[in-house]
Structure 1
Amino acid sequence: MAPLHIDTDYLVARLLELLGTPSPSGYTDAVVRLVSAELERLGLEVELTRRGAIRARRPGAAARPARAVVAHLDTLGAQVKRLKENGRLELVPIGTWSARFAAGARCTLFSERGSYRGTILPLKASGHIFNEEVDTQPTGWPFVELRVDAWARSPGELEGLGVAVGDIVAIDPQPELLPEGFVVSRHLDDKAGVAVMLAALEALRREEVTTPVDSFWLFSIAEEVGVGASALLTPEIASMVAVDNGTVGPGQASEESGVTIAMADQTGPFDWHLTRKLVELCREHAIDCQKDVFGWYRSDSASAIEAGADVRTALVTFGLDSSHGWERAHLHALRSLAELLTTYLASPVEIARDASEMAPPEGFTRQPMREAPHPADPGSPPPHRCGGP
């Protein structure tokens, strides 16, 4: 089946709604409720784990071997480590991100009494006081502090506000959508991926597509701290495609346009057969794509495999510049990724044996071992890049 039309207005609306709902790891209840309501509106059966990870099922023509798509709802953030003598707060990061990008951020602190606005500042924030020391102080979490926008000049006054060690801090996304199609914001990782999944689901529902097997739509809540999709899979799920960001920068092949298909991350190669199916779908349907290998990177797929799930995994991504910092993506990549998901979920199942968790060797897959034909061989197909000739 050809890729479905993706409603980019719907995609953008869902993205902005997601970005407007704070959800650092450990504080995700609000975004879970938001996404659950949208999934139910789109006709899915929704279940939540005890902590709030989402598993939603869209019935297909058969129950097995089911397919899953996953993205994470949680974002980077910070947590209060210490109430300082000057009435400010020492922070530690939630997830892996540099204090270089925290300095100057507006944010919301969630205390048991209620939320407070604030700003993360360098320890030496005023040139009028510290002169050139403002530019020479080190970078790191010990060298920034949170100034709460309330009367607090001592630990006692902070405690009087209800502020305590362990309180969660959500960083403002400050999204900006540009006429050229760029989206600039914090937390596009992975709220853009969630919006892509919802847009693909909306297209499948609008076009009344019946997929060959059940599809599960999974949303994890602790990927940024390494947990990911470790408790979401069911025995009937044979393959899982993670949707996340592709790191754009020196030494990487990821682009801010088209789909970037990850061949491996720091945990090793993704499933050979599933990954190549996605590549072939891009080639067959002229979806722009490129392949990449990620170094300091892990996704929901890694968490599932490490938790013991015997499931084929792949990672498809939207190119993201300055990941875990001031992030930028393009609507072309988001739309292309949603198109690929619709095509994949509607495509036939090639590995029928995957319907069983254990089965005899008959029907097991084969990876090519033959010698490649010489390039001068007239019978050889012309070389082509991922996504087209």
Structure 2
Amino acid sequence: MTRLHIDHDYLLEILRALLAIPSPTGYTDMIVRYVSGELGKFGLAVELTRRGAIRAIRPGVEERGARAIVSHLDTLGAQVKMIKDDGRLELVPIGHWSARFAEGARATVFAGDGAYRGTILPLKASGHTFNDEVDSLPVGWPYVEFRIDALARNREDIERLGVGIGDIVAIDPQPEFLDNGFIISRHLDNKAGVAVMLAALKAMQDEGVETPVDIHWLFTIAEEVGVGASSILTHNVASMVTVDNGTTAPGQNSDEFGVTVGMADQTGPFDFHLTKKLVDLCGENDIRYQKDVFRYYRSDSASAIEAGHDVRTALITFGVDASHGYERIHTHALRSLAELITAYATSPVNIKRDFAESGDVKGFTRQPLAEAAQDLSPDIEDDELEEQEHH
């Protein structure tokens, strides 16, 4: 068994700290600085891209064939779309989330001259004024508005405050950590994934474990808008495991306990061999797991592949109830994910051909049908079998 002990208190402490830092896509500098500082405490050198995606490499025996583990720092949010004559602000969402979950949210708008608190309200918010119309108003971003908690009765007042079109709005997470292990909050996607990665890294540093190849700890800043890991990978990386949320909902097999291994998302199947390795590691290390296929979902893995990176990708998740809303998770899944990361990072390299970016067919992988064919033809040389398979 290669999984390591996870510091549960540290995992929860770091998650609380991350949730307290607003980081909607486009406003991530603060959280980038915080996570960079945490990585520095573990003795890792931090590299930032121009916009702030983080790369920290923990050296292994080999630089070639490096493994990457990635989460995203950015969350959902909103932007000011229009300043209304009555001083209220029209909003558009950052990322895909329902205005149903925005109604009643406390939030902060980051203006040029400072930040202002406020509330997202339906256009018809007062039952004393609109009676039953408060229940018949449609759901959608055109039907909510932001009320600033300042003297803001008209457009001129708003402009005097320095608030302008395009200013970013961060939604309060309002977290609750319950004694039974459940955590309820906005933005657990994907601050819980970041906390899992840092807890796994701490376990590896505490134990001083050696890995067969370099491990690239990556944190992206625009996953919620589809950019994700498109420009953070180096040529040394052969495989990438994304840590993100799984959706516990009717028709899904995800769970709030254990690891949920993503088998496919809307962009297609994840890498057969890397996914199988992760599932096998769960079995070998007595880590509870289940598999799931996500229909309306994409992650850092998808953005990396679409950007042209030739890497094996996989997705491991913590089950989230009400994803992109008031989300709920359980610490059992977080600990299980961190344990799996440590088991994966320290596990032997099975596909050494991946040390090179390309090569001939020698050493190329086989999938079960080919393996079965070889079992049925034990006297056929490897090259001959490959020739038969080719034809």
Please give the TM-score of this superposition, normalised by the length of structure 1. 0.95
Give, in angstroms, the shift of residue 15 of structure 1.
0.3
**Aligned match of 2:152:** 152
Give, in angstroms, the shift of residue 62 of structure 1.
1.1
**Aligned match of 1:262:** 262
Q: Deviations over 1:258-298 (max 9, x none)?
A: 00000000000000000000000001111000000000000
Q: Deviations over 1:320-378 (max 9, x none)?
A: 00000000000000000000000000000000000000111100000011698xxxxxx
Q: Deviations over 1:144-164 (max 9, x none)?
A: 000000000111110000010
**Aligned match of 2:284:** 284
Local SS of the residue matching 1:325: coil
**Aligned match of 1:94:** 94
Give, in angstroms, the shift of residue 43 of structure 1.
1.1
Distance 1:302 1:155 in 2: 42
Distance 2:44 2:57 in 1: 6
Give, in angstroms, the shift of residue 86 of structure 1.
1.0
Q: Which amino acid aligns with 1:275?
A: T
Q: Which amino acid aligns with 2:48?
A: L
Distance 1:234 1:43 in 2: 21
**Aligned match of 2:386:** none
Give, in angstroms, the shift of residue 3 of structure 1.
1.0
**Aligned match of 1:335:** 335
Distance 2:118 2:371 in 1: 62
**Aligned match of 1:140:** 140
Structure that is richer in helix per residue: 2
Give, in angstroms, the shift of residue 5 of structure 1.
0.5
Q: Which amino acid aligns with 1:296?
A: Y
Q: Is the 8 A contact 2:2 2:346 kept in 1?
A: no
**Aligned match of 2:163:** 163
Distance 1:230 1:65 in 2: 19
Distance 2:155 2:26 in 1: 24
**Aligned match of 2:354:** 354
Local SS of the residue matching 2:368: coil
Distance 1:135 1:312 in 2: 49
Alignment of 1:118-129 (within 5 A): 118-129=118-129
Local SS of the residue matching 2:35: helix
Q: CA RMSD in A?
A: 1.1
Q: Which amino acid aligns with 2:200?
A: A
Distance 2:338 2:366 in 1: 29
Q: Which amino acid aligns with 1:22?
A: P
- Answering whether residue 222 of structure 2 is matched by residue 222 of structure 1, we say yes
Q: Deviations over 1:69-128 (max 9, x none)?
A: 000000000000000011100000000000000000000010010000000000000000
Alignment of 1:100-249 (within 5 A): 100-249=100-249
Q: Deviations over 1:183-212 (max 9, x none)?
A: 000000000000000000000000000111
Distance 2:61 2:127 in 1: 66
Distance 2:282 2:161 in 1: 55
Distance 1:220 1:199 in 2: 18
For structure 2, list consecutive stretches of 5 or more residues without a partner in the other structure: 373-391
Distance 2:225 2:238 in 1: 25
Distance 1:246 1:7 in 2: 23
Give, in angstroms, the shift of residue 2 of structure 1.
2.4
Local SS of the residue matching 1:369: helix
Q: Deviations over 1:232-255 (max 9, x none)?
A: 000010000000000001000000
Local SS of the residue matching 2:369: coil
**Aligned match of 1:316:** 316
For structure 1, list consecutive stretches of 5 or more residues without a partner in the other structure: 373-389
Q: Which amino acid aligns with 1:171?
A: I
Please give the TM-score of this superposition, normalised by the length of structure 2. 0.94
- Answering whether residue 20 of structure 2 is matched by residue 20 of structure 1, we say yes
Local SS of the residue matching 2:104: coil
Distance 2:370 2:288 in 1: 29
Distance 1:5 1:90 in 2: 48
Q: Which amino acid aligns with 2:39?
A: L
Q: Which amino acid aligns with 1:321?
A: D
**Aligned match of 1:55:** 55
Distance 2:293 2:371 in 1: 24
Q: Which amino acid aligns with 1:239?
A: S
Distance 1:335 1:222 in 2: 25
Local SS of the residue matching 2:12: helix
Distance 2:62 2:307 in 1: 26
- Answering whether residue 298 of structure 2 is matched by residue 298 of structure 1, we say yes
Q: Which amino acid aligns with 1:18?
A: L
Q: Is the 8 A contact 2:2 2:347 kept in 1?
A: no
% identical equivalent positions: 69
Q: Which amino acid aligns with 2:9?
A: D
Distance 1:85 1:197 in 2: 46
Q: Which runs of 4+ in 1 moved over 2 A?
A: none
Q: Which amino acid aligns with 1:54?
A: I
